[in-house]
Amino acid sequence: MKQSTINSSEEYKYGFTTDIESIRAPKGLNGDVIKFISNIKKEPRWMLEWRLKAYERLKNLKEPNWQKPKYPKIDYQDLYYYSAPKNSENKPKSLDEVDPRLIETYNKLGISLKEQEKLSGVAVDAVFDSVSVATTFKDKLTEKGIIFCPISEAIQKHPDLVKKYLGSVIPITDHYFATLNSAVFTDGSFVYIPQGVRCPMELSTYFRINASETGQFERTLIIADKGSYVSYLEGCTAPMRDENQLHAANVELVALDDAEIKYSTVQNWYPGDKDGKGGIYNFVTKRGVCRGRNSKISWTQVETGSAITWKYPSCILQGDNSIGEFYSIAITNNHQKADTGTKMIHLGKNTKSKIISKGISAGHADNTYRGLVRISSKANNSRNFTQCDSLLMGNECGAHTIPYIENKNSSSNIEHEATASKINEEQLFYCNQRGLNQEEAIGLIVNGFCKEVLQQLPMEFAVEAQKLVGISLEGSVG
Amino acid sequence: MNLNFDEFQKANQTGGELDNIRIKNFDNFQKKGFPSKKEESWKYTDLKTMLYNNLSKLEVPNNKKTSQCHDEWLLKNFKHNQIILVNGEFVSSTFSFESKDKIKIKPLRVILKDKKNFNKIKELFDDQKNSLTSLNHALVRDGIFLEIEDNYSFNKPLVIYNFFNKSSENKIINNKCFISLGKNSKLDVLKCYKAENSIKYFNNTIHHYSIQENAILKQFSINNNLDNSYNYHLTNVKSHSNSIFENFLFSSGSSFLKNEIHCNLLGSYASCFVNGLILLNNEQHHELKTNVNHRYEHCKSSQLVKSVLLDKSSGTYQGKIYVEKEAQKTDGYQLSRALIFSENSTFNSKPELEIYADEVKCSHGSTTANIDQGSIFYLMSRGLSKKQANKMLIEGFLNEAVETITDINIKSLISKLLIKKINEIKFETNEH
């Protein structure tokens, strides 16, 4: 059996830190910190009350522990819940006023905010630790009536929309990490697409954790009003540190009648070093609800980073004829652990869902697909198709599939299939024979394995993701 | 519910180690109570509520001898060896087709009382899978202890009859069945269940099978007589290298039946087959949980479960293939297919793969849907009534599981029982 060897030449490209002065909330989790966050964000009273209510509930909640990757206990009192670049208090009006060091940081990450502004393409909201530092293309979007802004701004400027939808998908009475987020969330993106509008460009948010001992708790809320369409991209990176950092975000999507939301994630948080030291705990709650008829929500995720990934982007198919899709690639190498999958809850009639999950496990990693498909007794003529494939590289890693399939309706169909195997020796041989070395050959085969999912990504992301797939697996074969 | 353990303990004292084991295990049970939905492996079955609602007067059986059984319950026109258990008590055994010197058979109660023999099975009491196993350890009174020597193949199958008569009403019956199969031996076991007058009882049985090198054990569990019983059957199998364990379930009779099969493949080239059919109507609730543990190279396991659910019934399949790091070249397969016939029936499945070795071929599939209306139309257009068409399609669907049986006589026996069962069912399908 081939033993995995670690090639140390390929390091985490985004592991730098930005030396920038920051304001922090006092360490620890308590009512005062929540008031501090609410105060610094100049939030209205109802928002603070909402946060405190969540905090009250949190006190009686216990962390869930049914997941496969176990982690040392997190000391929630030993974290900073708010960290922001110092001069962000007076929010810059245009990119020229943004701290050049921040611009530089995003340039290093390959997200040139200035360039993006000039070239048409993607509107970016950049979130640095706890605050949104810049949002591009505001004017063009405003023309169409689209609201794309940091959620802290939306709370002040569009309180009616926020009040109506915030917490309507992930209520404050949800599980531990979701409730924690409700209490202390700092920033994130808010998107509202008005009725009948097709968003002319991809909307994108880049999240970066910079400060140490900080947890990042962002909250994203996307509302697609009747007959609208939006494609939203999310990317994340963090510096290399030998401590574990917590990232507990909440993402809520609401699709009304005939609306469609496409949500793509390329998650590349720092995965820890080759011995499993450091890295981000990515405990994220993502949930979308197809509230209207004929609505559609599609999740696409490429999970390559984080020490532990623990998330299940879900769709609640409430409206009749609504569609939920989930495309996922989860790559774990070295000591990374992933427990990810989806939930498709069919409530409306003629609802359809499709799940394509590709798990790749190398080194000492553990990769779990855990998913739920539930067809309720009223969801007549619903359909689900699930396919989960796992690829194992080396005999130190694990790949697991845990699907829950519940059908209460006799007119609905559920199909599920899963396979687990290693890379086909013949395919490798074929590639080698044609002059590709082992690593290139594996890259090629793995990309082919993931193709079904990569195709779902918007073009700009697909190229990045394809590279990322290659990089994540580098050094996993010897 | 009043499980009067003290009284039971007094009446069944052996003066040996078992007394303490019973007390310890009853404590364990009391701490946990009957399993409920909070436990992952009971996620789809709330036994606690079920027993509370249906068997609130559940009690431990007293020591009165109640072992009458009726001859008309025995299988006819089918040559076999037999063991008869009535209300969980070992009544008789006949091995008329076999050489008796190769077979060692004893009622378990004899083993439990004898110190030297008890040491042989003592380790079985360490198993603490759930509160029901603890309860079984605490309250076990009788069962089967069967040892088969090396190099002996049975000429005819062994049928284990489990009869329950009126004195089992509202009783909790705990048994254990221990079968050890020597090297190069072969045995077919058929288990039949029959209760008198649809009485209510709770049967909690643990089977321990030890299959040595090159041995073949086939188990066929036939639960086809509709009754009001509640059953939990746990099967623990230890399969050594080159051995074959084949298990077939006909899960159709009782109000509640949970079959749990744990198979450990403890040597290379061992194989394990778990196949079965679940055919339910009224408000029946059946569950099959499997756990196949691959621990050595070149082992094979395959599972096929076909289910048909009518009326308000619900079925569950929780299958698991576990592949350890050392178990390279594993071949593991699971397939669950279910037909949901009525608006009120439910099927849940959780086919699970847990794999730590890379050179493996593991896959699973699970489908749930209604019967194909196109096929019904096809048959009806050729002159069959809707009822006939439904029956024909169900029979064909379930027959796929029966086809996996490798013994021709047993296959035809089970096939006949299945057809009889399907004919008994009233079809009231709903149109959508």
Residue A219, class by beta-carbon neighbours within 10 Å (0-12 exposed, 13-18 middle, 19+ buried)? buried
Domain regions of chain A by residue span: 27-311
3-class SS letters over A122-184: EEEEEEECCEEEEECCHHHHHHCCCEEEEHHHHHHHCHHHHHHHCCCCCCCCCCHHHHHHHHH
Q: Is B225 a residue whose pLDDT tops 60? A: yes
User: Do residue B355 and residue A406 have CB atoms under 8 angstroms apart?
Assistant: no
**d(Cα B262, Cα B321) in Å, to the nearest integer?**
10
Enter the DSSP assignment of A304: -
Q: Best of B42, B368, B372, B390 to disrupt the A interface by mutation (most A CBs within 10 Å)?
A: B368
- The pLDDT score that the predictor gives to residue A464 is 76
User: Do residue A417 and residue B363 have CB atoms under 8 angstroms apart?
Assistant: yes
Contacts of B343 in chain A (CB under 8 A): 377, 409-410
User: Do residue B353 and residue A414 have CB atoms under 8 angstroms apart?
Assistant: no
Lowest-confidence segment of B30-39, B63-72, B191-200, B324-333 by average pLDDT: B63-72
Q: Is B396 a residue whose pLDDT tops 70? A: yes
| pLDDT (average), residues B245-260 | 93
Percent of chain A residues topping a pLDDT of 90 = 41
> At A9, is the pLDDT very low, low, confident or very high (cuts 50, 70, 90)?
very low
CB-CB: which of A394, A408, A420 is closest to B362? Answer: A420
- Residue B317 C-alpha, separation from nearest chain A C-alpha, in angstroms: 10
CB-CB: which of B325, B328, B353 is closest to A418? Answer: B353
- Residue A389 C-alpha, separation from nearest chain B C-alpha, in angstroms: 9
> At B431, is the pLDDT very low, low, confident or very high (cuts 50, 70, 90)?
very low
What b-and-e string marks burial along B143-169, b requiring 16 or more CB atoms within 10 Å of the CB? Answer: bbbbbbbeebebebbbbbbbbbbebbb
Instruction: Say which residues have a Cβ less than 8 Å from residue A365's Cβ, sequence separation at least 6.
Output: A332, A333, A334, A335, A336, A337, A338, A397, A398
Alpha-helical segments (H) within B130-202: 131-139
Summary mean pLDDT of chain B: 90
Q: Is A20 a residue whose pLDDT tops 80? A: no
What b-and-e string marks burial along B49-85, b requiring 16 or more CB atoms within 10 Å of the CB? Answer: ebbeeebeebbbbeeeebbebeeeebbeeeebbbbbb
User: Do residue B369 and residue A413 have CB atoms under 8 angstroms apart?
Assistant: yes
- The pLDDT score that the predictor gives to residue B270 is 95
* Structure tokens belonging to residue B74: 């025995």
Using DSSP bridges, classify how beta strands A413-422 and B361-369 pair: parallel, antiparallel or unpaired.
Answer: antiparallel
Whether ipTM tops 0.90, in short, is no
- The pLDDT score that the predictor gives to residue A71 is 86
Using DSSP bridges, classify how beta strands A279-290 and B300-309 pair: parallel, antiparallel or unpaired.
Answer: unpaired
Cβ-based neighbour number of residue B4 at 10 Å: 11
Domain regions of chain B by residue span: 5-424
Lowest-confidence segment of A4-8, A158-162, A468-472 by average pLDDT: A4-8
* Structure tokens belonging to residue B339: 């037909």
> At B415, is the pLDDT very low, low, confident or very high (cuts 50, 70, 90)?
very high
- The pLDDT score that the predictor gives to residue A402 is 93
User: Do residue A421 and residue B360 have CB atoms under 8 angstroms apart?
Assistant: yes
Residue A331 and residue A472 in contact, taking contact as beta carbons nearer than 8 Å: yes
- The pLDDT score that the predictor gives to residue B65 is 66
- The pLDDT score that the predictor gives to residue A143 is 86
CA B316, B322, B323: angle at the middle one, nearest 5?
Answer: 155
Distances from the Cα of B178 to the Cα of A204, B24, B175, B314, angstroms: 64, 22, 10, 31
* Structure tokens belonging to residue B149: 């020597």
- The pLDDT score that the predictor gives to residue A241 is 67
**d(Cα B270, Cα B331) in Å, to the nearest integer?**
11
Phi, psi of B338 (to 5 degrees): -130, 145
- The pLDDT score that the predictor gives to residue A7 is 36
- Residue A314 C-alpha, separation from nearest chain B C-alpha, in angstroms: 18
User: Do residue B355 and residue A395 have CB atoms under 8 angstroms apart?
Assistant: no
Residue B172 and residue B133 in contact, taking contact as beta carbons nearer than 8 Å: no
Query: What's the pLDDT tens digit per position in A280-295?
Result: 889 999 999 999 999 9
CA B174, B93, B72: angle at the middle one, nearest 5?
Answer: 85
Enter the DSSP assignment of A214: B
State which amino acid sits at residue B375.
Answer: S
**d(Cα A122, Cα A458) in Å, to the nearest integer?**
11
Interface residue ranges in chain B relative to chain A, Cβ cutoff 8 Å = 40, 325, 328, 338, 340-370, 430, 432
Query: What's the pLDDT tens digit per position in A151-179?
Result: 888 999 999 999 999 999 999 889 999 99
Nearest-CA neighbor of B204 among B146, B124, B260, B288?
B260
Interface residue ranges in chain A relative to chain B, Cβ cutoff 8 Å = 1, 66, 377, 380-381, 390, 392-422
CB-CB: which of B341, B348, B366 is closest to A410? Answer: B341
User: Do residue A415 and residue B364 have CB atoms under 8 angstroms apart?
Assistant: no
> At A88, is the pLDDT very low, low, confident or very high (cuts 50, 70, 90)?
low
3-state SS class at A443: helix
Residue in this structure with the two tokens 């051995």, named with its chain if needed: B243
Instruction: Point out which residues pair with A279 in neighbouring strands.
Output: A244
Nearest-CA neighbor of A381 among A325, A317, A327?
A317
- The pLDDT score that the predictor gives to residue A130 is 59
Using DSSP bridges, classify how beta strands B346-355 and A398-407 pair: parallel, antiparallel or unpaired.
Answer: antiparallel
- Residue B297 C-alpha, separation from nearest chain A C-alpha, in angstroms: 13
> At A25, is the pLDDT very low, low, confident or very high (cuts 50, 70, 90)?
confident
Query: Mean pLDDT highest for which of A11-25, A78-92, B107-121, B346-360?
Result: B346-360
The DSSP code sequence of B25-51 is: HHHHHHHH-S--TTSGGGTT--HHHHH
Q: What separation, in Å, do the N-terminal and C-terminal C-alpha atoms of chain A show?
A: 10
- Residue B349 C-alpha, separation from nearest chain A C-alpha, in angstroms: 5
Instruction: Say which residues have a Cβ less than 8 Å from residue B275's Cβ, sequence separation at least 6.
Output: B246, B247, B248, B249, B302, B303, B304, B305, B401, B404, B405
Q: Is A4 a residue whose pLDDT tops 50? A: no
User: Do residue B350 and residue A400 have CB atoms under 8 angstroms apart?
Assistant: no
**d(Cα B174, Cα B8) in Å, to the nearest integer?**
12
- The pLDDT score that the predictor gives to residue A334 is 86
User: Do residue A409 and residue B343 have CB atoms under 8 angstroms apart?
Assistant: yes
| pLDDT (average), residues A339-354 | 95
The DSSP code sequence of B327-369 is: -TT-EEEEEEEEEE-STT-EEEEEEEEEE--SS-EEEEEEEEE
Phi, psi of A288 (to 5 degrees): -125, 145
Query: What's the pLDDT tens digit per position in B56-114?
Result: 888 888 766 666 667 778 888 889 999 999 988 898 899 999 988 999 999 999 998 88
Residue A430 and residue A398 in contact, taking contact as beta carbons nearer than 8 Å: no
User: Which of B240 and A272 is assigned the larger pLDDT?
Assistant: B240
Distances from the Cα of A283 to the Cα of A345, A357, B177, B230, angstroms: 21, 19, 46, 41
Give CA B375 to chain center in angstroms. 33
- Residue A404 C-alpha, separation from nearest chain B C-alpha, in angstroms: 5
Phi, psi of B223 (to 5 degrees): -120, 85
3-state SS class at B108: helix
> At A8, is the pLDDT very low, low, confident or very high (cuts 50, 70, 90)?
very low
Enter the DSSP assignment of B76: P
**d(Cα B94, Cα A457) in Å, to the nearest integer?**
69
Q: Is B219 a residue whose pLDDT tops 60? A: yes
Query: What's the pLDDT tens digit per position in A102-145?
Result: 666 666 666 655 555 544 455 667 776 656 666 667 777 888 89
Residue B170, class by beta-carbon neighbours within 10 Å (0-12 exposed, 13-18 middle, 19+ buried)? middle
CB-CB: which of B341, B344, B369 is closest to A412? Answer: B369
- The pLDDT score that the predictor gives to residue A298 is 95
> At B35, is the pLDDT very low, low, confident or very high (cuts 50, 70, 90)?
very high
**d(Cα A186, Cα A173) in Å, to the nearest integer?**
19
Helices A176-184 and A31-40, axial angle in degrees (round to 10): 50
* Structure tokens belonging to residue B116: 């030297």
Residue A131 and residue A88 in contact, taking contact as beta carbons nearer than 8 Å: yes
Q: Is B280 a residue whose pLDDT tops 80? A: yes
Q: Is B226 a residue whose pLDDT tops 70? A: yes
CB-CB: which of A380, A405, A410 is closest to B345? Answer: A410
Contacts of B359 in chain A (CB under 8 A): 1, 395, 422
> Chain B residue with minimal CA distance to A393?
B358
- Residue A62 C-alpha, separation from nearest chain B C-alpha, in angstroms: 15
- The pLDDT score that the predictor gives to residue A11 is 60
- The pLDDT score that the predictor gives to residue A1 is 34
Contacts of B364 in chain A (CB under 8 A): 401, 416-418
Using DSSP bridges, classify how beta strands B202-211 and B172-181 pair: parallel, antiparallel or unpaired.
Answer: parallel
Name the strand (E) or helix (H) holding A469. Answer: helix A459-473
Cβ-based neighbour number of residue A426 at 10 Å: 8
> At B432, is the pLDDT very low, low, confident or very high (cuts 50, 70, 90)?
very low
- The pLDDT score that the predictor gives to residue A86 is 66
CA B227, B230, B231: angle at the middle one, nearest 5?
Answer: 110
User: Do residue A395 and residue B359 have CB atoms under 8 angstroms apart?
Assistant: yes
Instruction: Say which residues have a Cβ less than 8 Å from residue B124's Cβ, sequence separation at least 6.
Output: B176, B178, B206, B208
A and B: number of Cβ contacts within 8 A: 118
> Chain B residue with minimal CA distance to A371?
B350
User: Do residue A411 and residue B357 have CB atoms under 8 angstroms apart?
Assistant: no
Q: Is A426 a residue whose pLDDT tops 60? A: yes
- The pLDDT score that the predictor gives to residue B428 is 62
Q: Is A461 a residue whose pLDDT tops 80? A: no
User: Do residue A398 and residue B354 have CB atoms under 8 angstroms apart?
Assistant: yes
3-state SS class at A277: coil
User: Do residue B355 and residue A422 have CB atoms under 8 angstroms apart?
Assistant: no
